[in-house]
Amino acid sequence: MKLYELSAARLISLLEAGEIKASEIQESVQKRIDEVEDRVHAYATLDRNTETGSSKSAGGESVLDLKGIPVAVKDNICTKGVPTTCSSRILEGFIPPYDAAVINRLKKANAFLLGKTNMDEFAFGSSCETSCYGPTHNPWDLSRIPGGSSGGSAAAVASGEAILALGSDTGGSIRQPAAMCGVVGLKPTYGRVSRYGLIAFASSLDQIGTITKTVEDSALLMNVIAGGDENDSTCSNEDVPDFTKSLEGGIKDLIIGVPDEYFVEGLDKEVEEAVNEAIKLLSGLGAKVERISLPHTKYAVSTYYLIAPAEASSNLARFDGVQYGLRRDAEGITDMYKVTRSSGFGEEAIRRIILGTYSLSSGYYEDYYLKAQKVRAVIAGEFKEAFKKVDCLITPTSPTTAFKIGERIEDPLKMYLSDVFTIPANLAGLPAMSVPCGFCGNNLPVGMQILAKPFGEKTIFKTAYAYQENSQWHKRKPSL
């Protein structure tokens, strides 16, 4: 039995039955890393000295136990004592003195932390190519990108270099790489999971979420990481259900909305067919399917590329060479800032800082930033109306399957369009999941996206699980 290939839920049941030991799982995954990491390059930092946390949680509340299951963590989530760089030179040598809220929770739940996964620099990108460590390779075809920005996390889970992983999603960075690597990626509702210790990209859009092999593993990991946090005032105190309980029950009478605006020019034919087949399958299981319209969808990408860089330019101002990370000395403080920042940030980060600073400047603020905020409100309102009529929405996750390394890196606009279907959920703060729903002729995975209203993760889990249990896609493994 190759333990690294199994899901967390299956491994936990084997552990509970006494058939295997946690150390065997950890060894199996570590061996797999030794075997394939050279080719996949999923990690920015491997932590070979991991200790699991204590199993006792304060206050006597029920403790979720991951029993030593190996988990990989995206490199923008702070880990005490382990380098955290956002795959950027500007954070070279930065070792956080504290753990992010999600890391605290993982440690309390006895997770075995494997290391930090590679990502696009500061999560700016859709291909994992803007990392200062070089690209991650897609386990299904090493000449292709794994998606981004959480490409390292998705590739690690797909290749068996981790059982579970955390990513972050500002405009699609969990769902798009999950789709391209054939795994399950969930961006929870904005505020469902604490962002304390997540290095900020765009604070009104960022959300930490899960990348897993199966839908039930996503529920399991969400049980560990979701819930209020006094260190993050945007984190909601909304009750956290046991997500594993919302899997069963079927989808009879569920109303699925299929928005016309997500089946448009630019959508790959094979991707479209796979998603349409999946919708047919769900309808066969008793769901009602309705075509709907979300007419403002076409403004989402431009709205996002005003708001996200604006917030990024302000968040990135803190990297000045004074307190942490890279420092290049020069005469006088202004020159020190200049040389440090120009040599620390990569091209895409610099582009976003310039874009964001521009749209926040006096005179342009009203014309661009403020206008984008108004469009954002319209897009959110449109979803709100839709969810009065339907329980969830189904769309493709990304218009194409994984593209070749180097194919879009010189063309930012083409790259930005990879997220045309994922960005709206971030603008509206909605939960959304990508689930494997087929393969294209060239043996590359396709993902289907399921969206629900805020805090409607239960509906997503129920729908995704019903689909998974009646399909086989999640069982295929890349041959590496």
Which of 138, 170, 194, 434: binder of ligand GLN (CB under 6 A)?
170
- What's the N-to-C CA distance of the chain in angstroms? 17
Contact by Cβ (8 Å): 234, 365: no
Which H/E stretch holds residue 115? strand 112-117
Which of 169, 216, 229, 391: binder of ligand GLN (CB under 6 A)?
169
CB of 345 vs ligand GLN, minimal distance in Å: 15
Closer Cβ to ligand GLN, 33 or 208, answer by number: 208
Indicate whether 308 belongs to the interface with ligand GLN (CB under 6 A): yes
Indicate whether 72 belongs to the interface with ligand GLN (CB under 6 A): no
What is the spatial distance between Cα 164 and Cα 102, in angstroms, rounded to a whole number?
13
Q: Of 170-178, 215-223, 247-255, 431-439, which part binds ligand GLN (CB under 6 A)?
A: 170-178
- Contact partners, residue 226, CB within 8 Å, separation at least 6: 188, 192, 193, 240, 243
Neighbours of 400 (CB within 10 A): 18
CB of 467 vs ligand GLN, minimal distance in Å: 24
Indicate whether 124 belongs to the interface with ligand GLN (CB under 6 A): yes
Among residues 408, 394, 325, 453, the alpha carbon closest in space to that of 148 is found at: 408
Q: Is 479 a catalytic residue?
A: no
Site for ligand GLN in 132-151 (CB under 6 A): 149
User: DSSP characters for 339-355?
Assistant: HHHHHHS-HHHHHHHHH
Two tokens, residue 212: 């897993």
CB of 422 vs ligand GLN, minimal distance in Å: 7
Tell me which DSSP letter residue 297 carries: G
Contact by Cβ (8 Å): 463, 450: yes
Size of the site for ligand GLN (CB under 6 A): 13
Q: Is 418 a catalytic residue?
A: no
Which of 112, 133, 201, 243: binder of ligand GLN (CB under 6 A)?
201
The SS3 assignment for 73 reads strand
Two tokens, residue 315: 């968040």
Indicate whether 125 belongs to the interface with ligand GLN (CB under 6 A): yes
Indicate whether 419 belongs to the interface with ligand GLN (CB under 6 A): yes
Q: Of 97-105, 153-161, 165-173, 287-295, which part binds ligand GLN (CB under 6 A)?
A: 165-173
Contact by Cβ (8 Å): 5, 217: no
Indicate whether 7 belongs to the interface with ligand GLN (CB under 6 A): no
Q: Is 149 a catalytic residue?
A: yes
Residues that bind ligand GLN (CB under 6 A): 123-126, 149, 169-173, 201, 308, 419
Catalytic residues: 74, 149, 173
